[in-house]
Every structure is written in C-alpha cells, then in structure tokens.
Structure 1
C-alpha cells in the first residue's frame, strides 16, 4: 500500500490529480494534499509519504525549497515535480535536489499512471535492498523515544503499527529481520536510559530462529512493558516533567521540597532532572523554589491583617530571620520596608 502527497496551490489541480491517482491500479492507502511546501512538510511529519507530486511556484514555500528540504531529510520518498511550460527550466533545478521525474501541465491520465507504475517498481527494488538509512532510523527512534517518555499511548500504538509496515516492506531474510528488530530496540532503550529514566531498561533478546511475526510481537510487548513501567513510576501522570515539577513546588511552598523528592515522583534520575530543569527554566531547582516563595510572600504582604512572621512560615521559612535575609537579598528591601515603601501599608 502506497501513501501519496500532492502539493499545489490550485485546488482544481489538487482535486484533478487526486482523481487520476485514484483511477490507477496502484494499491493506495492514503492520498493527502497541501497548498504549499510548508504545509507539505507538516503533512510529512504526520505521515511520511512514499510519493510526492509537487508544483513549482507556490506561496510561502515553493517546490524548489521543498525538494531541498526533502533531500536534507534523507527520507525514502520519491518526488515528482509538476510544472507549467514557462516553469520548465526552473523545474529542472529540482533535479539537483534528488528529483528524478518531472511532468508538464496538463498531466494526462496515461502519463500519470505510467509514472506511478515506474515509481512503485523503483520503490520495491529499494526496499528489497535491506536496511533503513541511518537518518531514517534516527527519525524513528526519536519518535518512539518521545512517545514512551511523555506517555503518549495513542501515538505509541500508531508508531508500532507504522514501524511494522515499514520493515515488512524491506522483504528481509529472517535473520536480517531479527537483527534489525534487536538493533532498533537496543538503540531505543539506550536513548531512554540516556534520559536517566528511573526504571529498569533491559534490551530485547531474540532467538535467531525467531519468525518475523514473533519478533514483531516481542518488540511490541517489550516497548509496551517499558511504557507501563514508566507510567506506573509516574503514577499515571503524562504532563511535561518540568511543568509537573513547577506545579508541585508551587503547591507545596510550606514544605522543604527537595529535588530528589520531585525527581522520584516523576520517575526521573535526580541528576538528569536537575539538568533538564535548568535547561527548560533557566534556573536551578533551588532558585526557582526561592523565587516562588518570594512571589507568594509579596502577595501576602499586601494583606495587612497577616503578620510578617506568619508569612515567613506560610512560604516555608520556620526561621523568620532567614526569611527576612532572603527576601532582602531578592527584593533589595526587608519585608517590612517592602510593605511600607512599595505597598504603602504600615
């Protein structure tokens, strides 16, 4: 089954090509459309097509730039450029970006069907050659890692289905199939471990005489088990870890919340969590916690009926003098001076 993407800023052309492609004998699973190169790249992120038919002159991003981006992706996608007679020389530039076929408008039914058969034949030959490119393998790994790490169950199920379809198309020998599945699983576990996920990560081991069907099932079960373990560790929470941590800090200002405590709650190794938090917020865990406490203290200082000693306790400082010292360090004024000079409260 082949997936096709048509890119043109003219709705009539899009619809016409869609109808002609549907009338071909090619087994097609999806025909998707985009109005320009930028939309096409977005569609490709959602589903990688086998064949792309693209116009040359389009707004936002033209066909030449689109072909260049596709070449940089090193994706197993065959691109056909369709242009008007006046754009013919312009279209020829796309050849330098890996485009091997181009058609002149208007495209006839016979011409298009002949080209589709040629593209399908070339696709089949490449798949029989064996392994995924390194760039394509990396893209698969990144998608799987994100889905598992951020507990995106529906996305993971979709990826597992698409991954099986992908490698089935390569028509590998049984030993090659088993080796590819093991290698992919090993690299995925390694990427998850690099995030220091606080769960046991054990690479999949398959028998060499394992069938392709059994290998796929074992891989699916192994990834699903890893997902469930992480979900259990996180107590089912699927939000961004840093956002979860920030919310937890803000809701527990009275307590001496530690980085280790929050990391354990999220199922992340403390060292990795510390680096991640600093990278995402620009502050250390301690700096963020102090700032949250001082922001809350400033709000409470505006409530005249609350004593400053009570405020220090409410924001996690049992030692009032320590609170006063920290507040002055952050704001340049003591709490009482801030209340008087900034808020006009005596």
Structure 2
C-alpha cells in the first residue's frame, strides 16, 4: 500500500489527480494534499509519503525548490512534476533534482497513470517491502530473540546497536516505517521460536527529533523483551513438563539429549539449561532416577534376574546397572534385594 502527496495551488488539478488515482488499480492507502511547497514539507516531516507529485508554480515555495529540499531531506522519496511550462531550463533543473518525470498540463490520464505506475514499481525495496523480504533483517531479529531467550544481554545490546546503526541518516518518517516492519519481524521470529504469537503492539510515536526517535525505538525493544520473556516462561514451563512426561514413558530407551531437545524445537545446550533450571537436575540424572526407581520395584516385587531387570530399565548390561545403583544409592542391587530396603 502506498502513500502519495499531491502538491498544487490549483484545486481543480488536485481533484483531477486524486480522481485518477482513486479510480486506478494502484494499491493506494492514503492521499495527502498540499497547496504549496512549505505545506508539503510539513506533511512530509509529519507523515511521509512514498511519492510526491507537484506543480512548479506555487506561492511561498515552488515545486523545484520543494524537489531540491526533498532530494536532500527525503532522498528515498521520488517526485513527479506536473507543469504548464515546457521550458528547457525547468526540465533541466528538475532532472538535476532527481525528478522521475516531467508531465505537461493538461494531464493525460494514460500518461499520468503510466508515470505513477512506473515510479512506484521502481521504489527501492527498502521503502516499500523491506519489512517482508529482507533476510538480513530477519537474521538480526532472530539473533535478538535468541539472545533474549538465553538472557544474553551483550548479544541483545549488539543486535540493538546494529539495528539503530542501520537507521543512521534515514529520514524520521522512514525510520518509523522501517521499525514498524522490523517490529513485525521480531514478533514473527519470537512466535517461531516459541511456537506461539507474542502479543506486543508498537507504541505510538510523539517525538520531535532524532533523540526522541532513538529513545522510542529503545523503549519498544524493552517492551518486546518483556513480552518475549513472559511468553517464553509460560512456553518453557509447558515444554519441560511435556519433556518430563515423555522421559517417564521412554526412560528405558537410549534417547540422547540432542534428540530430546530437537523434538521440542530447542538446541541441546539451551534445553539442558532449561531442564535443570525447571527441575533442579540434569536430563541424564532425571532419567537415571526413573530407571533406578523402576529397578527397585522389580527387585522387591519380582523374581526377575539381574540381566532381565537391567535390560527392562534401559541398561545394556548388569555392570551398568550395578554402577548406577552404587553411585546413586550407595549399595548394589543384590544388597537391596536381600535386605528389602525401602
């Protein structure tokens, strides 16, 4: 969806251009109107636009003066001039200012719409679709989310600094558009990591300068950090609970930490950290506890042989069972069976 700013002191021309745009197939979201260059600059600074279409002869600030200002302050925003003058000097100066096209009045519908279409199609990805298509941004977002989940503050700060650095020299209105897109990517990345949608709306911006904008973006990162951590806490509780249930059902199988972590969508180191954080013991220690508990039951309540018990609870041989028994309980399986210890 595009935002277009129409600039002309002739209301009839404004109405004509608006009519042609609104009845075209362009995905136009908003159309702003200004009667002179000064008003156009105010609108650009407050709202921004993807394309400016301006007359040349206007009071207070001409279209050429406006285009010169745009080329310096809003270098990502293209301009089209519509004019009654076909003087070579005007055309030459317009080209120097980087104007995309110079259309003569009265406007031809086909010529006007063709010029607008071509200009919009040439908009750089950074203006219109970067929030949806940039692999670099997505990689940065995923790195930041991973750093939040692992409580790695230095990595969080590094990712945040990279993002702020990418906004250096970009006009404020475009910073807002870019950060809004990046905000969505962060939420998508968090949702993919947590297998759920993290709810955190972008706060309204009421700032006046670059410092205000930086503070606003920093505040949004803090709000996102809180939302991701809160969602991660709930999701991690559920994940570890499900992992425990799975281990209880398959404790006698040789399931590695890597396989178990992969089954719940985490890396082995991160899953190991979470498991110990939530249960107080490691995955291997938890599995050993389950194996020995079952072995104790079989030793007291069955007449199965040691090799049979070892195999049933997940050990390849009796030696491994004896070693685990002595290490964890302080005596051998035979001593346990003979004494009937509880």
Higher-Rg structure is 2
Short-chain TM bin: 0.3 to 0.5
Q: TM-score scaled by structure 2? A: 0.43
TM-score (norm 1): 0.43
